[in-house]
Amino acid sequence: MPAPEPSPPQSSPSAAASHSGAYVLAEAAARARDIRAATGGRPLVARVPPLPTPAPADAP
């Protein structure tokens, strides 16, 4: 009777989670590229207005 083949090493939950997270990010990036290509538009980047300059400390 042949010896059973060794099973591949099991990855840790954190390794599986990071792989899954990388997959999700890659999928989102691909979807964003597809949307930009379909609409012919620029990348959708949220423009954050600059913060107002604080008033001098001695101002009333």
Give the C-alpha separation, 21 to 13, whole Å.
Answer: 12
Question: What pLDDT, on a 0 to 100 scale, did the predictor assign at position 8?
Answer: 56
CB 36 within 8 A of CB 43: yes
Q: What is the pLDDT of residues 3-58, one digit of tens each?
A: 666 655 555 556 665 667 778 888 888 888 877 777 776 666 667 777 777 777 77
Radius of gyration of the chain (CA): 25
Number of H helices, E strands in the chain: 1, 0
* DSSP secondary structure of 34-58: HHHHHHTPPP--PPPPPPPPPPPTT
Overall pTM > 0.75: no
